[in-house]
């Protein structure tokens, strides 16, 4: 991979990356995964340090980034709001400028997307989005890698997202469009993706030839699906809406009845953590068509590729 072209880039959203760059990062992810499985040394970030800022709790994100940096020969520093001056109101711009003098890259898992944009605008080292309220691009890259590993192609594959039009949905839809994969999202009325993001996805589809469809009918959506994806109905920060969301999303559970409309060899994906019995039935998430743990593992490999691209020399 020619990492020179990634110099000076951040990883805030897949909208900032071309289709060719997304595919190149996915190819490199597969190579790094193979290296790890075969015990091939790949310590491309010796002496490099990643600062990891967490304003939202995490299991997969923290472990995969920390392990990834270790496997690449570098190191990672965990910073929660309680462990840094951010928790006491220090401006994001000050934090960015200070950390830039200590570390080689900054990863952040935070709330509003404007926070990471301000961080990136004031940082002189690469900034990686590990989740904001609008986007989750690292997760989308892991999703794409998992689909490719199982299906062997993106061409002719129909991916259907069932549920809330949230940050996970935004990045998945963008990623699918970038690689030319047909994508459909089905949500209850009022829970659709943000309109400006929908317009971006439509523009990408015009370039790649992918098909994009939004519907409020889950049965219509999953007709002939190769991949069915869902997420929790109540994301972090929306807990006060739990009761209303349980009622609004009741018809959108991914269960044995719904998946009958998909292809028999459909894949089930979920970014985890999952609420079994709510957005997905136990029979589906723990069934033979579920690839959720391969998907979770692939967070490690795609993030290593991103780290090498942005922090490598």
DSSP string, 275-289: -BTTTB-HHHHTSTT
DSSP per-residue string spanning 144-201: HHHHHHHHS-STT-EEEEES--SHHHHHHHHHHHHTT-EEEEE--TT-PPPHHHHHHH
Domains assigned to the chain: 3-136+299-311 (3.40.50.1370), 139-295 (3.40.50.1370)
> Residue 90's pLDDT band (boundaries 50, 70, 90)?
confident
Which residues contribute to the annotated binding site for carbamoyl phosphate? 58-61, 85, 109, 136-139, 271-272, 299
Active-site annotation holder among 176, 205, 231, 253: 231
30 classed as catalytic: no
How far apart, in whole angstroms, are the C-alpha atoms of residue 239 and residue 279? 15
Binding-site residue positions for L-ornithine: 167, 231, 235-236
- Active-site residue, selected from the candidate residues 62, 109, 270, 301: 109
* Arithmetic mean of pLDDT, 53-65: 94
- The answer to whether 301 is a known catalytic residue is no
Q: In the structure, what pLDDT confidence band is assigned to residue 204 with cuts at 50, 70 and 90?
A: very high
245 given a catalytic annotation: no
Which residue from 304, 176, 192 is spatially nearest to 252, judged by alpha carbons?
192
Checking if the pLDDT of 236 tops 90, the result is no
pLDDT > 90? residue 239: no
Distance of CA 183 to the CA centre of its chain: 16
For 284-293, write each residue's pLDDT tens digit. Answer: 999 999 999 9
Active site (annotated) includes residue 231: yes
Instruction: Band the pLDDT of 208: cuts 50, 70, 90.
Output: very high
Give yes or no: 271 in active site: yes
Residue 155 scores a pLDDT above 80: yes
Active site residue 109: yes
Mean pLDDT (whole number) for 262-289: 98
Q: How far is Cα 235 from Cα 259, in angstroms, rounded to an integer?
A: 23
Annotated catalytic residue within 62, 71, 133, 139: 139
Please pick, among 271, 295, 301, 303, the residue that the annotation labels catalytic: 271
Output the pLDDT for position 87. Answer: 60
Task: Specify the length of the chain in residues.
Answer: 313
Tell me the mean pLDDT in the region 22-30: 98
| Alpha-carbon span 271 to 118, nearest angstrom | 27
- Under DSSP, the state recorded for 3 is G
């Amino acid at each position: 991979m020619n990492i020179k072209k990634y110099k000076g880039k951040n990883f805030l959203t897949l909208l900032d990356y071309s289709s060719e760059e997304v595919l190149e990062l996915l190819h490199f992810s597969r190579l790094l995964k193979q290296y790890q499985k075969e015990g091939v040394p790949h310590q491309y970030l010796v002496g490099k340090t990643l600062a990891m800022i967490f304003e939202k709790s995490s299991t997969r994100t923290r472990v995969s980034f920390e392990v990834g940096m270790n496997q690449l020969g570098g190191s990672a520093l965990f910073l929660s709001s309680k462990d840094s001056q951010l928790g006491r109101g220090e401006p994001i711009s000050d934090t960015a400028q200070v950390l830039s003098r200590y570390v080689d890259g900054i990863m952040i898992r935070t709330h509003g997307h404007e926070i990471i944009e301000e961080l990136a605008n004031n940082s002189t080292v690469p900034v990686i989005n590990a989740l904001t309220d609008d986007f989750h691009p690292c997760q989308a890259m892991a999703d794409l890698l998992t689909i490719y590993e199982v299906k062997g192609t993106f061409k002719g594959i129909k991916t259907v997202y069932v549920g809330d039009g949230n940050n996970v949905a935004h990045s998945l839809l963008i990623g699918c469009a970038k690689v030319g994969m047909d994508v459909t999202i089905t949500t209850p009325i009022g829970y659709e993706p943000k309109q400006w993001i929908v317009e971006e996805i439509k523009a990408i589809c015009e370039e790649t030839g992918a098909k994009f469809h939004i519907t409020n009918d889950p049965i219509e959506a999953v007709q002939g699906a190769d991949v069915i994806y869902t997420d929790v109905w109540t994301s972090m920060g929306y807990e006060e809406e739990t009761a209303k969301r349980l009622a609004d999303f009741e018809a959108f559970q991914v269960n044995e009845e719904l998946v009958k409309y998909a292809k028999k060899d459909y894949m089930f994906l979920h970014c985890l953590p999952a609420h079994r019995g709510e957005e997905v039935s136990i029979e589906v998430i723990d069934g033979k068509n579920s690839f959720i743990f391969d998907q979770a593992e692939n967070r490690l490999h795609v993030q290593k590729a991103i780290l090498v691209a942005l922090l490598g020399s």
